[in-house]
Amino acid sequence: MYKECVYKRESRKEYEAHQTNMASLNFTLATPTTSSSPFFSQTTTKQRRLKTHGKQTHRFQVSRNVSSNNHEKPLTTNPQPQKLILPQTSLDLQNVDRRNLLLGLGGVYSTVSLSGLPPAFAEAIKAPFNQPDRPCKDAVSGFDSINKKLLRPIDCCPLSKNVPESDFKFPDESSQTRIRYPLHKLPLGYLDKYMDAIQKMRDLPDSDPRSFNNQAKVHCAYCNGSYTQNNKELQIHNSWLFFPFHRWYLYFYERILGDLIGDQTFGLPYWNWDNPEGMTIPHFFVEKQCNNYKVENGENPLYDVYRDKSHIRQMMRNAFDATSFFGGKYVAGDEPIPRGDNVVGSVEAGCHTAVHRWVGNPDPNGNKEDMGNFYSAGYDPLFYVHHSNVDRMWTLWKQMGGKEPTDTDWEDASYVFYDEKQNPLRVYNKQSVDLSKLKYEYHSSATPWTDRPPRSRCNRPDYPKRNNTKDFPYQKDPPEKLTLTDTVRLRVKRPPASKNRNAEQKKSEKEILCFIGISFDCTESAKFDVFVNDCDEEQITPCDSENVGSFAAVPHAKGMAMGCKSGMRFSLTELLEETKAEGDEFIRVTIVPRTPGKNVTIDAIEIRLIPVL
């Protein structure tokens, strides 16, 4: 039986403060819901005592067929109703229309795990540094090391100098602010400066933690199980760590580049893929020989032999609350994937993942290096300018009124990076929120997606309607597990309270299409598109209301789990307005798999009313 739980996850400080007043720690688990599924037909409240995590140990064995060096390998080309109360998080939720919040290319909406319970109390994630009891290890997953030739090494541990870490200090207030420019509008001479910096980083020996290879290893280590927390893998994707970790990663990468060329004002450019003018991969990343940049071998330092040369233009769509933007809570002791309260941030699941998938090596027999696999993504210079724009999304979201989490478990999460002087510094999430203190900012660029909302294609007078209702059988009661071997079509019943709501009701509660229990292999790419009330899914694009979004995953570490299991939710409120279907009892759902041959299943689909908190 599927149930949603309401809980209060306390920090360690809160727990210790209450110990003197409580003989034992109890959590109230309530499951009130408004749902069209029989699994949620009754409202119940249960009391359950939760235990803290015990110590757990596990080992990993990986067969490998690559050397421990970091040189590129030759490329082989084969190329009723009660209100639903969700698990509460500490994120500040904003009632902002989806058109004014970023969702991401391809219409990917945030994903949420609807099962599992949190630890009784939590500690913030603290990444290890030079700890013998928490040694860094080779990447454990994200690729098929037996049947597919790896193009990059899996010894992901960056160089670790035998020096103690220090706490990060903000740059001096008098230091000049670095400007990050869009790649398609770089100032005169800036491209030469950028290429020179990348070449100098490539020329550094691997005994230097600032070298190109060691910088690439940082992403592999944090994303593929090389580090641990509380005897479990540390994973910085699929949770609220995603944005701050990558902000710090780029912060030091940018400062290293600037220091190598003697320019303390150098700012890392951003790939402006949310602007039509900047959507394509800039030509100076694609050309192996760059006539305007001369080095001894004549090769372009921005070129990556394993990159896909094609690129698809798509528009942005939008999230409906802050939880969907940042991602769910992740603390020490949590399983990396899957976990309870597993919300993947909308930008991470959307434009971030879409670009990774597009740019990776298209060889169907490979592991999608470099950008298409997290273990190798850092070896492509395009990775950093891509994430520069992802970081810019955070800045734009704040300009729209968004707020970072205030939970101390988020604020106190920390990592260690080497700065431009090879000093290991521990940084905290709470230090990442103010760009004025970090002394960098983004040069403005047009954001056309903010004032161009999706429009219904199927409601246009000249567009043919789908008349064959037999293509859409009614969803069974209870729902059956769906296997996405081919396109799936079905009718899903809406909660009675969701029909013909007024503006105030829509403001307080969003109508959400929930995909429960999406199971897939973490070591493989996975993607499917979702359409609602469509007339022809082959013609619908993300610019049309009927395309509600996609589920997409880049291969990465899966821990001890046999596979990944997550969930996904799509906002229907505006779509039903645009398609003039607010009074309908059912909606038509079409699911189109985009990764043939992959074993992807969905336990259930249902529609819920979710409060905007």
Cβ 69 vs Cβ 41: under 8 Å? no
Q: Which sign does the torsion angle of CA 347, 351, 352, 357 carry? A: positive
Q: Is 389 helix (H, G, I), strand (E, B) or coil?
A: helix
User: What does the alpha-carbon distance between residue 440 and residue 180 come to, in Å, rounded to a whole number?
Assistant: 7
User: What does the alpha-carbon distance between residue 475 and residue 344 come to, in Å, rounded to a whole number?
Assistant: 27
Q: What confidence score (pLDDT) does residue 567 get?
A: 75
Identify whether residues 444 and 565 lie together within a single domain.
Answer: no
Cβ 472 vs Cβ 574: under 8 Å? no
Q: 384 is written with which tokens? A: 């950093």
What pairs with residue 270 in β-bridges? 182
User: What does the alpha-carbon distance between residue 335 and residue 238 come to, in Å, rounded to a whole number?
Assistant: 11
State the catalytic residues.
219, 237, 246, 352, 356, 374, 387
Asked whether residue 157 is domain-assigned, the answer is yes
In angstroms, how far is the first alpha carbon of the chain from the final one?
A: 26
Concatenated DSSP letters for 416-431? EEE-TTS-EEEEEGGG
Asked whether residue 22 is domain-assigned, the answer is no
Placement of tokens 């940018």 in the chain: 254
Asked whether residue 58 is domain-assigned, the answer is no
Asked whether residue 15 is domain-assigned, the answer is no
φ and ψ at residue 543, rounded to 5 degrees? -80, -10
Identify whether residues 498 and 576 lie together within a single domain.
Answer: yes
Asked whether residue 57 is domain-assigned, the answer is no
User: Domain range spanning residue 544?
Assistant: 469-611
- Where is the domain boundary, 451, 477, 511? 451
Identify whether residues 379 and 447 lie together within a single domain.
Answer: yes
User: Where does 419-572 have alpha helices with state H?
Assistant: 435-438, 503-508
User: Where does 149-241 have alpha helices with state H?
Assistant: 190-203, 212-223
Identify whether residues 442 and 482 lie together within a single domain.
Answer: no
Ranges in the chain, pLDDT < 70: 1-122, 140-148, 278-279, 281-346, 349, 448-455, 457, 459-470, 537-543, 556-563, 596-597, 613
Q: Indicate which CATH number applies to the domain containing 396.
A: 1.10.1280.10
Cβ 138 vs Cβ 156: under 8 Å? yes
Asked whether residue 345 is domain-assigned, the answer is yes
Q: What confidence score (pLDDT) does residue 538 get?
A: 67
CA distances from 174 to 263, 266, 419, 437 (A): 16, 16, 19, 11
Identify whether residues 212 and 349 lie together within a single domain.
Answer: yes
Identify whether residues 139 and 184 lie together within a single domain.
Answer: yes
Q: What confidence score (pLDDT) does residue 255 get?
A: 98
Cβ 239 vs Cβ 328: under 8 Å? yes
Instruction: Collect all residues with Cβ–Cβ distance below 8 Å to 278 and sequence separation of at least 6.
Output: 182, 183, 184, 185, 271, 272, 445
Torsion-angle region of residue 230: left (phi > 0), alpha (psi -120 to 50) or beta? Answer: left
- Where is the domain boundary, 422, 451, 480? 451
Q: What confidence score (pLDDT) does residue 151 get?
A: 79
Identify whether residues 297 and 347 lie together within a single domain.
Answer: yes
Q: How many CB atoms lie within 10 A of CB 543?
A: 16
Identify whether residues 253 and 340 lie together within a single domain.
Answer: yes
User: What does the alpha-carbon distance between residue 224 and residue 238 come to, in Å, rounded to a whole number?
Assistant: 13
Identify whether residues 520 and 391 lie together within a single domain.
Answer: no
Identify whether residues 443 and 367 lie together within a single domain.
Answer: yes
Residue 551's closest CA among 574, 530, 572, 522?
530
- Tell me how many domains the chain contains: 2
What pairs with residue 105 in β-bridges? 316
Identify whether residues 288 and 414 lie together within a single domain.
Answer: yes
Q: 234 is written with which tokens? A: 């540390």
Identify whether residues 371 and 503 lie together within a single domain.
Answer: no
- Where is the domain boundary, 451, 484, 516? 451
pTM of the model: 0.67
Q: Indicate which CATH number applies to the domain containing 477.
A: 2.60.120
Asked whether residue 91 is domain-assigned, the answer is no
Asked whether residue 106 is domain-assigned, the answer is yes
Q: What confidence score (pLDDT) does residue 291 get?
A: 46
φ and ψ at residue 575, rounded to 5 degrees? -60, -45
